[in-house]
Structure 1
Amino acid sequence: MTLHQSVVGMLLLSVAALQSAFGQKEGPFKPEIPKVWDEQALATWATPVAGLNVRPGHFSEAEYYQAPIDNYRTYPVYAPGREPAGYWEMLQKVGAKPLIDPSKLRSKRDWIEAGKAVFEQADHLSLRSRDPKVIAAIRSGEVLTNLPYVSPDGTLRLLRWVPTEKGVAIGHVNCGSCHIREEPDGTRFNGPPARGEAANPIRRLVGGEDVANSPFHIAESLGERMYRAFAAPWVKDDVHERLKQMSQEELARWNASVALAKGVIPRWNGSVFFPAKVPDLIGVGDRKYLDHTGTHANRGIGDLMRYAALVSYAESSEFGPHQMLAPEQRKISGRLPDEAFYALALYLQSLQPPPNPNRFDGRAQAGQQIFAREGCPGCHTPGLYTNNKLTLAKGFAPPAGKPAMLDVIAVSVGTDPNLALKTRKGTGYYKVPSLRGVWYRGHFLHDGSIASLEEMFDPDRLKDTHEPGGWNPPGVRARAVPGHEFGLRLNQDERASLIAFLKTL
């Protein structure tokens, strides 16, 4: 080798090292996008329903893909007096634009950014309206009086304008309405449970009292709508039968009790009587099961995609012989393109928690030792701080021949079993939650009854005189919050140390 060749070789090695150190330009990203609605994947995806021991039904692949694609970019809605000059006129002229345009996405980062747009902009198809009266009411502020919707930049957090071929519509944010945390200074974090807000006015304007983020508009009485959303007729003495006889005032009280302001939502197929807290989406890609009751497996990005589609507009609400929808309601009126759900799932997998102000000091170190001594890592294994398994709801015995995909610890921690046994989301199981991020989430246990870690480890919560800081049924002030008694026998100093550790996760 000549001196010249040696020098050239060394220069090439140096350039390669510098490229490695400072990062090369990201190359083309050509993903193989799974089908959102794939019959083979759907066949083994859901967990059987407790009491029926059958998987929920679903729309066929053909039915799903017969629905027209709805792929509209949306725009912020400003509070009266805060709208930039010429903004409304721009919306009238801009025309329909795609929410996602795969032809312009070159890198993985491009796809993730497109997923962020889907997360923040996509609207509920069932709540979109072009009714001039609805639009005028929003623009005038007539329905916004004294409601905490306005962000510091003047936008209304939960609403979006949707220019379509037929004109500008008003829409209600889909993912972001429950999973964007906005701080008082306007700083936003995507993924954590949203801070409590009053009910959105567009829900009442479009179709009366909205029920359970319904995947379609139901033109029935409030009681009938709530019955369709929640009833589990195979459950003996199903409490949801009451909904058809309740007065409007009582229905409204129950509907209001399960709101973001309480940290919970009455999910479609869930229950207004047995609500579920809003989940944290940060880290969802690492979870083996989805939903508090493990209703669906998370086997990879395809399952995140189809779960987002399912809860947005693709619930057929079939449970063995029980058809919860009228024939004319069993339809998908529109769907996002598969590429939108792929981008969304990539974005969800990329989410990072907010900066943690809690430091791992001496007290937290002592708490870590208590965490290990008390056996907490058995379920909340360090790393993800969950073992990604399911536990039994109190009183549930798994049937013979349960699906092999269910990784179950044959113990119950004694929390309220009703969501897991008396609803359409009932599987008989609760998944072991991750403890990562408990410092910012707020609301604990699956129903959000407990508002803080301090309350979680307060032994007085087992007493009937306890006043829960989280969700409560309407008219109830004091009640015991049973279950998950781990840590309740620690002394006050040990509890403080354990909490200090948990807040560093």
Structure 2
Amino acid sequence: MFRRGSVFAPGLVALGFTLGCEAAPAPAPTSASEPPPVRASAAVEPDAEPEPAPEPWSDAWLEAEASRYLDDPSFRRQALEASLTNPDNQYSRKRLAAYGHADRGWDGLPQWRPKVTQVTTPIVEQLRETGELRAPPGTPLWDGQRPTSLAAWVELGERVFYDYPLRPELFARHALANPELAASVGLRPDPSGRWPGVVVFDDLDGQREVGITCALCHVGEDAGGGLVPGRAHRGLDYGAMRLAYYRDSNTPISAELAQRMASWGPGRADITDDEDEDPVAIPDLWRVRELTHLTQAATLRHDHPAALAIRQETQLLHANRERARPPRELAWALAMYVYSLAPPPRADPPSASASATALGRATFERACARCHEYANGSGEPVSARSVGTDPALALGRARGTGLYRPAALVRVADAGPYLHDGTVASLEDLLSPARLEPEFRAGVRGPGPVVGHRYGMDLPEDTRAALIAYLGTR
């Protein structure tokens, strides 16, 4: 069993990574046909021994739970309501008003299975030479057949992760057409010549467009420059990419918005749909199955995979200006793929001595495990005021809960910059009392000199070093 859970209904274990910027809904196109329903299982003989129920969060349990999310509208509504940590913030109110009503709101939108072409280096080179977007005809991302095993769900989810377009993205098309800009904002090909995070697709109106996908933010790089799915794309400067488009196209933009975008820097973006200034760092997606809450502000309780699937489903349709919704099979598949993500094997073993690692482990268990109590290093959400980091996200109108979720500590030594808003560069800085000094705070990226997460600052220097050494082994 991966983690603890509670029951919110009989038979059910109880319940920002994409840039879903706010936009006015467009008229919905004609409804598309629904995919075939799942086939009924064979009848059980009256005297047959019942199969033991699979362990919650096991692979077999995930396979069994798929049909509840896919085929039961009342379950989806119940799952949504149970997942919302604060039902009064904008994120929750929008979903409560529009989701899980069977035949109206977002449920009444047509399904959309876009025809997609992966962006490759020849397509990019032709765009740069001619200014025209010439790509082979797209193919449907999914054939409409529901997977029947977890492995097949994960395989489909990988295609969704790389290829399902959130929306047309002029900013990305402009960056692809300009080599220096693309390099500076983090758009890059993999060794095979594929550009993860950008696709060419036929939009709902039939126009050929460049779109962005989940992989834009969640395919990062290892020490050798190889691309790693699930690792945060810390080199992505989405704010600079947008600003370059406004500048080069002479499109007006308010000075306030331009200043906010310029302040994000690589690896950060403000994905909320309020006017608060609360950018967050792109997180790694390691061992998400074990998290009890989703998003840095613990916006969603994650006591059932439907919480993540509904998050994916509503993110995709909201990012696409509520014109259509993805088939729910694709949302579930994407959740299963995210659950499958794990960091690659270490290239080099940690270099710390056994004695330093042992001291660091003991220090962690004494000083850190109260908040980072779970096997993946995360824990139950804590009060934003008690942790003391910038409270704008936790107390904001969009996704605010008053809480922050302790970060998972999987490969934490490689996960800088740290804190929910990415304002501390290194583990050494995070634990150093120098962060209290005005000279240090003046150089920190972010809106102001907020000093939070003071835990560990009062440790002796050698103990802090041992703690850092231990964290390097996680």
Structure 2: any 5+ residue segments left out of the alignment? 1-59
**Pair 1:283-2:287 in alignment:** yes
Q: Please name the residue that 1:502 is paired with.
A: 471
Question: Which of these residues, 278, 294, 298, is aligned with residue 294 of structure 1?
Answer: 298
The one-letter code of the counterpart of 1:311 is Q
Cα distance in 2 for partners of 1:179, 1:77 equals 17
Counterpart of 1:41 in 2: which secondary structure? helix
Secondary structure of the residue that 2:69 maps to in structure 1? Answer: coil
Q: Is the 8 A contact 2:146 2:329 kept in 1?
A: no
1:124 paired residue among 161, 166, 169: 166
Match of 2:200 in 1: 161
Equivalent of 1:110 in 152, 167, 173: 152
Once residues 110 and 204 of structure 1 are traced to their aligned partners in structure 2, the CA distance between those partners, rounded to angstroms, is 40
Matching residue of 2:69? 34
Query: 1:251 maps to what in 2?
Result: 257
Q: 1:76 to 1:106 in 2, by over 3 A?
A: same
Q: Is 2:463 the partner of 1:489?
A: no
- Asked if the contact 1:463/1:480 (under 8 Å) is kept, the reply is no
Residues 364, 500 of structure 1: 8 Å contact kept: yes
Q: Given the alignment, which residue of 384, 388, 406 partners 2:376? A: 384
2:187 aligned partner: 149
**C-alpha displacement of 1:428:** 1.2
Query: Aligned equivalents of 1:461 and 1:193: distance in 2?
Result: 25
Q: Provide the identity percentage.
A: 27
Rate the CA distance shift 1:139–1:481 in 2: closer, same or farther, 3 A.
closer
Q: Secondary structure at the residue paired with 1:257? A: helix
- Choose which of 354, 357, 362 in structure 2 pairs with 1:364: 357
Displacement of 1:462 after TM fit?
1.4
8 Å Cα contact 1:270/1:425 also seen in 2: no
Partner of 2:322: 332
Q: Distance in 1 between matches of 2:115 and 2:412?
A: 34
Q: Give the alignment of 1:210-229 within 5 angstroms.
A: 222=253
Change (3 A) 1:436 1:299: same
**Count of residues paired in the alignment:** 392
Equivalent-residue separation in structure 2 for 1:127 and 1:139 (angstroms): 11
1:423 aligns with 2:397: yes
Q: 1 CA distance for matches of 2:393 and 2:287?
A: 23
Alpha-carbon separation, structure 2, partners of 1:163 and 1:291: 31
* 1:444 Cα deviation after fit: 1.4
The C-alpha deviation readout for 1:109-140, integer Å capped at 9, x for no partner, is 122111011111111225389xxxx97x6775
Name the aligned partner's letter for residue 429 of structure 1: L
* Shift, 1:424, TM fit: 1.8
Q: Structure 1 pair 181/460, CA: closer, same or farther in 2 (3 Å)?
A: same
Provide the C-alpha distance between the structure 2 equivalents of 1:417 and 1:177, rounded to a whole number of angstroms: 27
- CA shift digits 1:5-28 (9 cap, x unpaired): xxxxxxxxxxxxxxxxxxxxx9xx
**Within 2, Cα distance between the matches of 1:81 and 1:72?**
19
| 1:44 Cα deviation from its structure 2 partner | 3.2
Q: What does 1:298-447 align with in structure 2 at a 5 Å threshold?
A: 298-314=302-318, 332-356=322-346, 357-359=348-350, 361-362=353-354, 363-374=356-367, 376-381=368-373, 383-387=375-379, 389-394=380-385, 412-447=386-421
Q: Distance in 2 between matches of 1:350 and 1:81?
A: 31
CA contact (8 A) 2:305 2:335 kept: yes
Q: Quote the offset at 1:80 in angstroms.
A: 6.1
Counterpart CA distance in 1 for 2:294 and 2:122 is: 40
Letter in 2 for 1:501: Y
Matched, 1:175 2:168: no
Q: CA separation in 2, counterparts of 1:33 and 1:361?
A: 50
1:274 aligns with 2:267: no
The one-letter code matched in structure 2 to 1:496 is A
Q: Which moved more, 1:141-150 or 1:305-314?
A: 141-150
SS in 2 for 1:314: helix
Q: How many Å apart are 1:170 and its aligned residue?
A: 2.5
Change (3 A) 1:98 1:201: farther
- Give the aligned partner of residue 231 of structure 1: none
Q: What CA RMSD, in Å, does the superposition of the two structures yield over aligned residues?
A: 3.8
d(CA) in 2 for partners of 1:252, 1:204: 7
CA distance in 1, matches of 2:420, 2:450: 12
* Equivalent in the alignment of 2:268: 264
Which protein has the larger Cα radius of gyration, Structure 1 or Structure 2?
A: 1
Which whole-Å deviations, capped at 9, do the CAs of 1:430-483 have from their partners, x for residues lacking one?
12222222122112122211111010011010122214776323xxxxx64422
* Superposed CA offset, 1:38-64 (max 9, x none): 323223331226799x95543143221
Going from structure 1 to structure 2, the CA distance change for 1:492 and 1:178 (only over 3 Å counts) comes to same
Matches within 5 A, 1:40-51: 40-48=78-86
Distance in 2, matches of 1:173 and 1:461, equals 37
Return 492-501 or 103-112, whichever deviates more.
103-112
Would the aligned equivalents of 1:270 and 1:419 in 2 still touch at CA under 8 Å?
A: no
Cα distance in 2 for residues equivalent to 1:275 and 1:165? 31
CA shift at 1:484, angstroms?
1.9
Residue in 1 that maps onto 2:49? none
Shift of 1:171: 2.5
2:168/2:211 contact within 8 Å kept: no
- Counterpart CA distance in 1 for 2:183 and 2:339 is 37
Instruction: Determine if contact 2:162/2:197 at 8 Å carries over to the other structure.
Output: no
Normalised by the length of structure 1, the TM-score is 0.67
Q: CA–CA distance in 1 between the matches of 2:436 and 2:276?
A: 23
> Whole-Å Cα distance in 2 between the matches of residues 274 and 305 of structure 1?
25
Decide whether the 8 Å contact of 1:271 with 1:419 is kept in 2.
no
Q: Amino acid of the residue matched to residue 489 of structure 1?
A: D
- 2: distance between equivalents of 1:435 and 1:293? 17
- Matched residues in 2 for 1:150 and 1:190: separation? 14
Amino acid at match of 1:312: L
Contact 2:218 2:231 (8 Å CA) reproduced: yes
Matched, 1:189 2:228: yes
Distance 2:78 2:68 in 1: 16
Distance 1:93 1:208, change over 3 A: closer
